[in-house]
């Protein structure tokens, strides 16, 4: 691996190169932003660290901050240390916010001090590159996979998560966008504060402003007291705008100023309030196409997409399917106090499927089959019937197929899980609620919703 040195001061580059060489690293020198970016385009995989100047006299139109921003977005796995002869606190803060690993001022560094700082930085970066703790943290969020596409996702999550940049997460439905949002927050400096989710499709248009920005007492009929909005709840933390592509165009303008200036005004208020939060958004829609059709505001798109993480569909990382299966089988066995396994031939069968619903579809299929199959080891025959119907504990048939939308399928999975648990608990609602980790009231509401006859499970005693 090489260290890329980017500075227009040739003598200083030579000094840096000598120190880098004494630490046992190879190096490459570039003296302008354009040449540095061109080199990265061809050789980014060979660069382990970049030392980057702030000001370039030979190209006043592009600064080191510009190079930093481009590098963080295009090559998020390359750590960058900014080195400046004209450093200011504002510049250092901006560089850190964009994702710089460190900021060093030339005027404060002697040769020995520079050697010490650089050695420490190289050592620290080397440790972080081999540190599996962050990857384990991602796994703890339920993001499973070691394929090349998922390692690229993991690298971006780790890199962007340490910044305060707004992140747009894209990908087909069921690829795990919510999990990535949680991972970004968990890795960020805001992790000790709240991650607040805005479920865009389920907020009525007429309540959008009051839900997000809050309101003051007396601002409308029923406003008996001041209310904090979701922006306030996410103060010091992260606001996750889920399904941002579903936000109607006429409401999108309401987000421009709050995102840009980090200020909100409650409904009925005359003054604004400052909020400190980071924005993460997700969508399964093509926002570029939506913008061309006037369905999404370009200003909002660029504010939300300071960085982008695209999640690959499951069909493009089928080598991850065995690990995903193992994860959900283990989760099932823990939750249901079970000991199920899946035959290798059945794993191969599942690995060959296209999974248009991605990980969410696979996990739903696994839940249903694990909870409705009696034998300890599941075989191909237990999954092959999924193309038609899944056997229901009461003898009815519940289908999971492309003829139904994913929301309907997930409702059926929810119903089957409730019934399988009630059967296991012999109709004891309290015990079933405890096993499902929900309240008795919630369970009773679901029983009414799905018209489940609890008595039939009690009669099997």
354 and 251: one domain? no
Comparing 24 with 27, the larger pLDDT belongs to: 27
* Neighbouring-strand partners of residue 241: 198, 281
| Number of CB atoms found within 10 A of residue 288's CB | 10
pTM: 0.62
Residue 118 lies in a domain: yes
> For residues 316-353, b (16+ Cβ closer than 10 Å) or e, as one string?
ebeebbbebbebbbeebeebbeeebebeeebbebbbeb
Of 13-27, 103-117, 418-432, 433-447, where does mean pLDDT reach its minimum? 103-117
CATH number of the structural domain spanning residue 32: 3.40.50.2300
| Confidence at 406, pLDDT banded by 50, 70, 90 | low
- Whole-number pLDDT of residue 393: 31
Asked if pLDDT for residue 302 goes beyond 50, the answer is: yes
pLDDT per residue over 239-261, tens digit each? 999 999 999 999 999 999 999 99
Residues found in the chain: 461
Q: Can you tell me the mean pLDDT for 381-401?
A: 48
- Whole-number pLDDT of residue 305: 95
- The mean of the pLDDT values for the chain is 84
Residue 423 lies in a domain: yes
Residue 137 lies in a domain: no
Of 88-97, 147-156, 299-308, 402-411, where does mean pLDDT reach its minimum? 402-411
- Whole-number pLDDT of residue 128: 53
Asked if pLDDT for residue 389 goes beyond 60, the answer is: no
Strand-pair category, 80-84 with 377-378: unpaired
449 and 336: one domain? yes
pLDDT per residue over 164-212, tens digit each? 899 999 999 999 999 999 999 998 889 999 999 999 999 999 899 999 9
The first and second tokens of residue 233, run together, are: 């709840």
Residue 201 lies in a domain: yes
Asked if pLDDT for residue 402 goes beyond 50, the answer is: no
CA 235 to CA 389: how far, in whole Å?
47
124 and 146: one domain? no
351 and 442: one domain? yes
H or E segment to which residue 278 belongs: strand 278-283
Of 43-57, 135-149, 241-255, 408-422, where does mean pLDDT reach its minimum? 408-422
Q: Which residues, other chains included, contact 85 with Cβ-Cβ below 8 Å and sequence gap of 6+?
A: 9, 53, 54, 55, 105, 106, 107
H or E segment to which residue 196 belongs: strand 195-199
Residue 335 lies in a domain: yes
H or E segment to which residue 378 belongs: strand 377-378
Domain end, chosen from 130, 158, 181, is at: 130
Q: Taking a C-beta distance cutoff of 8 angstroms, is the pair 378, 340 a contact?
A: yes
375 and 293: one domain? no
**DSSP codes, 251-265:** HHHHHHHHHHH-EE-
Rounded to 5 degrees, φ, ψ at 459 are -75, -10
- Whole-number pLDDT of residue 391: 32
Residue 155 lies in a domain: yes
- Whole-number pLDDT of residue 197: 96
Comparing 331 with 393, the larger pLDDT belongs to: 331
151 and 291: one domain? yes
- Whole-number pLDDT of residue 151: 82
- Whole-number pLDDT of residue 20: 80
Among 396, 399, 439, 385, CA closest to 419:
396
298 and 344: one domain? no
Domain with 353, as residue range(s), is 315-458
| Number of CB atoms found within 10 A of residue 459's CB | 10
Domain end, chosen from 270, 295, 312, is at: 312
CATH number of the structural domain spanning residue 298: 3.40.50.300
| Number of CB atoms found within 10 A of residue 56's CB | 22
| Confidence at 380, pLDDT banded by 50, 70, 90 | confident
263 and 283: one domain? yes
Comparing 420 with 203, the larger pLDDT belongs to: 203
305 and 319: one domain? no
Highest mean pLDDT among 10-14, 91-95, 150-154, 292-296: 292-296
Tally of CA atoms within 13 A in the half-sphere of 152 that contains its CB: 13
Among 130, 133, 187, 147, CA closest to 324:
147
- Whole-number pLDDT of residue 62: 87
H or E segment to which residue 456 belongs: helix 455-458
- Whole-number pLDDT of residue 211: 93
Q: Taking a C-beta distance cutoff of 8 angstroms, is the pair 30, 4 a contact?
A: yes
Asked if pLDDT for residue 387 goes beyond 90, the answer is: no
CA 140 to CA 253: how far, in whole Å?
36
117 and 149: one domain? no
Residue 135 lies in a domain: no
pLDDT per residue over 39-94, tens digit each? 999 888 788 889 999 888 877 778 899 999 898 888 877 888 888 876 667 787 88
Task: Please give the C-alpha separations between residue 254 and each of 141, 209, 251, 284, 305, in angstroms, as whole numbers.
Answer: 31, 8, 6, 22, 17
| Confidence at 423, pLDDT banded by 50, 70, 90 | confident
Among 182, 147, 186, CA closest to 321:
147
Residue 136 lies in a domain: no
CATH number of the structural domain spanning residue 332: 1.10.8.60
180 and 303: one domain? yes
Domain end, chosen from 261, 281, 312, is at: 312
39 and 126: one domain? yes
Among 94, 160, 118, CA closest to 305:
160
- Whole-number pLDDT of residue 396: 38
**DSSP codes, 413-439:** HHHHHHHHHHHHTTT-HHHHHHHHTS-
Number of domains in the chain: 3
């Amino acid at each position: 691996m090489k260290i890329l040195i980017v500075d227009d001061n040739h003598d200083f580059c030579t000094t840096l190169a000598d120190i880098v060489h004494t630490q046992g690293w190879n190096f490459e020198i570039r003296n302008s932003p354009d040449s540095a970016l061109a080199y990265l385009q061809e050789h980014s995989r060979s660069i382990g660290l970049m030392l980057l100047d702030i000001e370039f006299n030979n190209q006043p139109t592009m600064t080191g901050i510009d190079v930093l921003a481009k590098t963080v977005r295009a090559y998020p796995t390359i750590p960058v240390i900014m080195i400046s002869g004209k450093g200011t606190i504002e510049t250092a803060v901006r560089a850190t916010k964009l994702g710089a690993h460190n900021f060093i001022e030339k005027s404060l560094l002697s040769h020995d001090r520079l050697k010490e700082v650089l050695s420490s930085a190289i050592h620290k970066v080397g440790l972080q590159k081999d540190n599996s703790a962050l990857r384990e943290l991602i796994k703890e969020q339920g993001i499973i996979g070691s394929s090349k596409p998922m390692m690229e996702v993991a690298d971006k999550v780790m890199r962007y998560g340490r910044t305060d940049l707004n992140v747009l997460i894209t990908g087909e439905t069921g690829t795990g966008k919510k999990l990535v949002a949680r991972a970004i927050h968990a890795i960020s400096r805001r992790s000790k504060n709240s991650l607040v989710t805005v479920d865009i499709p389920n907020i009525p248009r007429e309540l959008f402003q009051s839900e997000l920005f809050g309101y003051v007492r007396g601002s409308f009929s029923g406003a008996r007291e001041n209310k904090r909005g979701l922006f306030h709840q996410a103060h010091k933390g992260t606001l996750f705008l889920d399904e941002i592509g579903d936000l109607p165009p006429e409401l999108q303008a309401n987000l421009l100023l709050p995102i840009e200036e980090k200020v909100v005004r409650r409904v009925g208020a005359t003054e604004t309030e400052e909020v400190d939060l980071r924005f993460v958004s997700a969508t399964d829609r093509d926002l570029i196409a939506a913008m061309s059709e006037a369905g999404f505001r370009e200003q909002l798109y660029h504010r939300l997409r300071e960085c982008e993480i695209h999640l690959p569909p499951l069909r493009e990382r089928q080598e991850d399917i065995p690990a995903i299966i193992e994860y959900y089988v283990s989760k099932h066995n823990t939750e249901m106090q079970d000991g199920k396994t899946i035959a290798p031939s059945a794993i191969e069968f599942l690995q060959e499927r296209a999974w248009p619903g991605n990980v969410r579809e696979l996990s739903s299929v696994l839940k249903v089959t694990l909870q409705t199959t009696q034998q300890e080891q599941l075989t191909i025959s237990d999954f092959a019937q999924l193309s038609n119907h899944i056997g229901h504990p009461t003898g009815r048939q519940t289908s999971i197929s492309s003829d139904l939308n994913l929301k309907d399928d997930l409702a059926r999975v929810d119903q089957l899980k409730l019934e399988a648990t009630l059967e296991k608990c012999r109709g004891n609602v309290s015990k079933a609620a405890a096993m499902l980790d929900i309240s008795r009231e919630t369970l009773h509401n679901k029983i009414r919703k799905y018209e489940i006859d609890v008595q039939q499970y009690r009669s099997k005693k």
